[in-house]
């Protein structure tokens, strides 16, 4: 059984010799690899939950790698993509990179070029997953707040003093202090600065910024 933090490199190329060569290269570099002849095979496969990236041929039999890139994005499958092709051109490269591709390598490329791109892609995915996990944890904590505690948190992180918050909410300063204490405890924030950072991350996760 593969540990959830083990990185996996997926390869989609209809050329068996290319798949075999890349698998051999990645194995020699100590990287786990799974390869597929078609995008459909890749989609049917249950992907591990650890960091991953996709090495994708641009021109596949009956399919187009750039179209598949868009399909993955539309389906919410956010995986760093490294395109490889034997027929690259500048417009194609620009289109791929604008759509979020990590790299666009033209065959024949050096092994080190591919390995470098793969390590960069895995690092990006690892960071993205850590950020998603952190935001999910913050959302769980935020869900524990009452409606009034959320109001207080919003006013606190906006820079208002307890006296001002009490005036805005039509309550006493002591009540605000109690709510503020609950917010800090439930959000597991050790300082106002940390609470402000948490609020910013929650706003990013909800697409407000």
Q: Which pLDDT score is estimated for 205?
A: 41
* The pLDDT of residue 199 is above 90: yes
Q: What is the separation of C-alpha 23 from the centre of its chain, rounded to a whole number of angstroms?
A: 25
Higher-pLDDT residue of 119 and 106 is: 119
CA–CA dist 91, 21 (Å, integer): 28
**Average pLDDT, stretch 81-85?**
91
**Average pLDDT, stretch 153-164?**
95
Q: Which of 35, 21, 47, 6 is nearest to 114 (CA)?
A: 21
Q: Which pLDDT score is estimated for 21?
A: 94
**pTM of this prediction?**
0.74
**Average pLDDT, stretch 142-164?**
95
- Is 128 buried (19+), middle (13-18) or exposed (0-12) by CB count in 10 A? middle
Per-residue pLDDT tens for 10-21?
Answer: 999 999 999 999
**Average pLDDT, stretch 192-204?**
89
Q: 5: which 2 tokens?
A: 């933090």
**Average pLDDT, stretch 72-94?**
82
Q: Could you tell me the pLDDT band of residue 208, with boundaries at 50, 70 and 90?
A: very low
> Three-state DSSP class for 106?
strand
Q: Which pLDDT score is estimated for 75?
A: 86
* The pLDDT of residue 160 is above 70: yes
Look at 74-78, 87-91, 127-131 and tell me which has the smallest mean pLDDT.
Answer: 87-91
Q: Could you tell me the pLDDT band of residue 28, with boundaries at 50, 70 and 90?
A: very high
Look at 89-93, 142-146, 162-166 and tell me which has the smallest mean pLDDT.
Answer: 89-93
């Amino acid at each position: 059984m593969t540990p959830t933090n083990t990185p996996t490199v997926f390869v989609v190329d209809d050329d068996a010799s290319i798949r075999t060569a890349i698998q051999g290269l990645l194995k020699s570099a100590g990287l786990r690899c799974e390869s597929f002849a078609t995008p459909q095979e890749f989609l049917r496969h249950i992907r591990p939950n650890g960091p991953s990236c996709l090495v994708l041929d641009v021109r596949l039999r009956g399919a187009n790698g750039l179209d598949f890139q868009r399909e993955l994005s539309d389906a919410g499958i956010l995986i760093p993509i490294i395109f490889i092709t034997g027929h690259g051109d500048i417009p194609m490269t620009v289109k791929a990179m604008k759509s979020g591709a990590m790299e666009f390598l033209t065959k024949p490329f050096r092994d080190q070029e591919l390995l470098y791109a793969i390590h960069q892609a895995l690092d990006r995915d690892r960071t993205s997953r850590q950020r998603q996990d952190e935001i999910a944890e913050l959302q769980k904590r935020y869900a524990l707040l009452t409606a009034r505690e959320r109001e207080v948190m919003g006013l606190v992180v906006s820079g208002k003093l307890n006296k001002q918050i009490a005036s805005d909410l039509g309550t006493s300063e002591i009540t605000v202090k109690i709510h503020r204490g609950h917010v800090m405890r439930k959000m597991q924030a050790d300082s106002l600065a940390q609470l402000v950072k948490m609020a910013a991350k929650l706003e990013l996760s909800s697409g407000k910024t």
